[in-house]
A and B are shown apart, each in its own frame.
Chain A
Amino acid sequence: KAGVTQTPRYLIKTRGQQVTLSCSPISGHRSVSWYQQTPGQGLQFLFEYFSETQRNKGNFPGRFSGRQFSNSRSEMNVSTLELGDSALYLCASSLGSSPLHFGNGTRLTVT
């Protein structure tokens, strides 16, 4: 069974731009969560989607948004990028109350 797939693997953007990251969950998993990982703050919860609805949200500004499609694939968008948005963005999927299964992330660098 294929794992969680995130694209692209690396991304370089400039301040003020916007970016869209993609995540394909494990087949059959309907819950998708997004995390931001930085050396200083560790893994911080962004949001969780289930059946195309945002079920939970972390403490990030409105520039961070996401969505989930009917096939459970998810995208997250960051608008008006800031230098501090440079991070590894991780997507995880789960089935019911099972543990999160993570992808290898998208490394975003904002210059």
Chain B
Amino acid sequence: GESVGLHLPTLSVQEGDNSIINCAYSNSASDYFIWYKQESGKGPQFIIDIRSNMDKRQGQRVTVLLNKTVKHLSLQIAATQPGDSAVYFCAENNRDDKIIFGKGTRLHILP
């Protein structure tokens, strides 16, 4: 079915450490994946995306990895900062052009 889920609902990370947020997707026909960050009181904000013909993409302090064999997506945030505290959503664009979101992972930064 069309479902995108998260392995962990809450992730606590020490400031300065790297964060890894995981996501599993079920639709093998999905060809485009996106990570969003949502801060309190705001709408989701685009972080980084990746197409199914790639397995890795890097941005500024963020890296997305795609493993199509096991239908797994991850977001790595380097040198986590207090401003990274938010809920992170993975989303997939299936072949029907619907963007389906996962339930989200809350990233908590420890001082």
Chain A: residues with CB nearer than 8 A to chain B? 4, 33, 35, 42-45, 48, 55-56, 58, 90, 92, 97, 99-105
Contact = CB atoms under 8 A, between A and B. Distances in A.
A45 B101 CA distance: 8
A58 B43 contact: no
B46 A99 contact: yes
Interface residues of B, number: 21
B102 A102 contact: no
A93 to B, nearest CB: 11
23 contacts: A4-B43, A42-B102, A43-B44, A43-B89, A43-B104, A44-B101, A45-B98, A48-B97, A48-B98, A55-B97, A56-B96, A56-B97, A56-B98, A58-B98, A90-B43, A99-B34, A100-B44, A100-B46, A100-B99, A101-B46, A104-B41, A104-B42, A104-B43
Contacts of B104: 42-43
A43 B101 contact: yes
The list of the 4 closest CB pairs from A to B, nearest first, reads A102-B43, A43-B101, A42-B103, A99-B46
Nearest to B32: A97
Given A4-B43, A56-B97, A56-B98, 5 more contacts: A42-B104, A44-B101, A90-B44, A100-B44, A104-B41
Interface string B15-59: 000000000000000001010100001111110010000000000
Contact of A102 (B41, B44, B103): B44
Interface of B: 32, 34, 36, 41-46, 49, 89, 91, 96-104
A103 B43 CA distance: 5
